[in-house]
Each structure stands twice: as C-alpha cells, then as structure tokens.
C-alpha cells in the first residue's frame, strides 16, 4: 500500500482548523513543523480483518475512511514518527476525538478545496510550503511571495504571511544584503539591520513603535527611538 500524499492545501487546512496544535503532544505547532497523522493508522488498509476489528472496537462504521479529514490530525514530525503505526488502546477520550473529527471533517475539506480551486492562491501556497520544507527561501523570495499574498488578500494569506514572518515593512525597506540571522535593509536614505527567520527574540523589538527596527547601532530607524536591541 502506498502512503497517502497530502497536498499543500490539505496540510494547511488540517493545521489551521485544528488549532495549530499537535494532537499527540498537545504543544503549539508551526506550519513548517506540521505533518499529518492518521488517528486510525493507514497501515490497517493492508489488513481487512485487523481494520474491521478496530472499527468495531471504536464503534466506527464499516465505511469509515482512513484517508479522509475525519481521520487526519496535525502533528509534529517527531511525534508522528514516534507514534508510527501504533494503534492506541481504546479509551473513550479517543472515540470522542474521532467523533469531533467526523463533525469537523467537511469544514476542513471545504477549506482545502477553496485553496485548491483558487489557482493563484494554490501557486503561492506551493511556494511557501517548498520554502518551509527546504528552509532555503531568501528574503528576496519572501518579498515576492508577500507581494502575491497582498494581491490575493484573504484570511488564509494573512495566516501564511504571519507564519513565514518578514520583520520589516517591505513597502518602505528593501534588502541590501543578508547575514547570519539578520538582513541589512535600506530605503535609499536610511538603513539598518533586522532579524531574519521566524520568531525573533523579543530584544529585537523596539519598545516605542513595536517594530523590529531596522536598527542602526542603538537607534530604531523606523521611529528614531534610542535603545539597545541586544541589551
């Protein structure tokens, strides 16, 4: 049996509509860390008898779909790998999870379909997912993606922009060069450095304007506040 190949829209919808949280460890989950786990293991498709026994044990219908939104939840890759093909021992709490999944399945499917049906948005999602997976996206690439996101301008693209995190105003600042953990930006007259990568340390944030600079020495070039971003 070949494993189901989740597309970008499916992975995003599952992650977003299940609270951006790993269902196994219950910790918050970033989109770039997200894999999709089968609550009832996909490996059971190789054994009709074992699958029938599990469905009976959980009180699930005989036509229960292993590869459907009613059996998919977001998880960290490491949690998914640790769980592997294990079948959790039946407990009422797990049946409750499956019941909730069944009720929510069509809403998650609708979200995935809406992305896939929008060709322009689907292309942007593909770029973002490739970048998150390979961790090779440059700040220039990010600016290009954000221009496309702003053109589409809907809730999903706002979420994506927050996830892949650009830490300066691209309408004012352009990238001059990139360093390790920071980029140098300029508006043609002023310039400075801003952090790169997701979730920058709070020390980068200007206490006055709440931006991440850019910083030129101890001065925030966005508002002029004097402060040490590394202090």
Tens digits of residue pLDDT in 137-176: 666 677 777 778 878 888 898 888 777 766 777 778 888 8
Instruction: Specify whether 17 is located in the same domain as 108.
Output: yes
Answer whether residue 155 is part of any domain: no
Task: Show contacts of 52-57: CB within 8 Å, 24+ apart.
Answer: 54/87, 57/90
Answer whether residue 3 is part of any domain: no
Answer whether residue 176 is part of any domain: yes
Say what the pLDDT of residue 13 is: 96
Answer whether residue 156 is part of any domain: no
Alpha carbon distance, N-terminus to C-terminus of the chain: 56
Strand partners, 21: 28
Gap between the Cα atoms of 219 and 227, Å rounded: 6
Strand partners, 147: none
At residue 44's C-alpha, the angle toward residues 83 and 38, to 5°, is 45
Diameter over CA atoms, the chain? 71
Instruction: Specify whether 65 is located in the same domain as 86.
Output: yes
User: pLDDT tens for residues 32-84?
Assistant: 889 999 999 999 999 999 999 999 998 899 999 999 999 999 999 999 998 87
Say what the pLDDT of residue 9 is: 94
Instruction: Specify whether 180 is located in the same domain as 209.
Output: yes
Instruction: Specify whether 179 is located in the same domain as 220.
Output: yes
Q: What number of other Cβ atoms are within 10 A of residue 4's Cβ?
A: 14
Instruction: Specify whether 12 is located in the same domain as 97.
Output: yes
Instruction: Specify whether 16 is located in the same domain as 109.
Output: yes
Percentage of the residues of the chain whose pLDDT score is greater than 90:
47
Q: Number of folded domains in the chain?
A: 3
Instruction: Specify whether 196 is located in the same domain as 221.
Output: yes
Say what the pLDDT of residue 231 is: 52
Question: How does residue 206 score in pLDDT terms, banded at 50, 70 and 90?
Answer: confident
Say what the pLDDT of residue 116 is: 92
Answer whether residue 193 is part of any domain: yes
Answer whether residue 58 is part of any domain: yes
Instruction: Specify whether 31 is located in the same domain as 78.
Output: yes
Question: How does residue 215 score in pLDDT terms, banded at 50, 70 and 90?
Answer: very high
Cβ proximity of 201 and 183 under 8 Å = no
Answer whether residue 172 is part of any domain: yes
Cα–Cα separations (whole angstroms), residue 124 to 8, 64, 161, 164: 10, 33, 11, 12
Range of the domain at 145: 119-150
Answer whether residue 106 is part of any domain: yes
Asked if pLDDT for residue 229 goes beyond 70, the answer is no
At residue 20's C-alpha, the angle toward residues 182 and 153, to 5°, is 70
Closest CA to 3 of 56, 34, 33, 41: 41
């Amino acid at each position: 049996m070949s494993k189901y190949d989740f597309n970008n829209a499916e992975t995003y919808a599952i992650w977003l509509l299940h609270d951006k949280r790993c269902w196994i460890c219950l910790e918050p989950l970033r989109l770039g860390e997200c894999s999709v786990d089968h609550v009832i293991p996909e490996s059971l498709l190789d054994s009709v008898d074992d699958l029938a026994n599990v469905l009976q044990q959980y009180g699930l219908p005989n036509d229960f779909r292993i590869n459907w939104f009613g059996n998919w939840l977001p998880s960290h890759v490491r949690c998914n790998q640790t769980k592997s093909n294990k079948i959790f021992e039946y407990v009422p709490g797990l049946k409750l999870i499956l019941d909730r999944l069944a009720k929510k399945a069509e809403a998650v499917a609708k979200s995935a379909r809406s992305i896939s049906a929008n060709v322009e948005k689907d292309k942007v999602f593909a770029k973002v997912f490739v970048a998150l997976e390979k961790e090779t996206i440059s700040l220039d690439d990010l600016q290009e993606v954000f221009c496309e996101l702003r053109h589409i301008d809907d809730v999903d693209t706002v979420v994506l922009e927050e996830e892949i995190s650009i830490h300066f105003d691209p309408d004012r600042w352009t990238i001059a060069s990139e360093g390790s953990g920071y980029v140098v930006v300029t508006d043609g007259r002023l310039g400075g450095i801003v952090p790169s990568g997701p979730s920058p340390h709070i020390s980068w944030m200007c206490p006055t304007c709440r931006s991440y600079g850019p910083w030129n020495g101890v001065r925030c070039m966005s508002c002029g506040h004097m402060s040490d971003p590394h202090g």
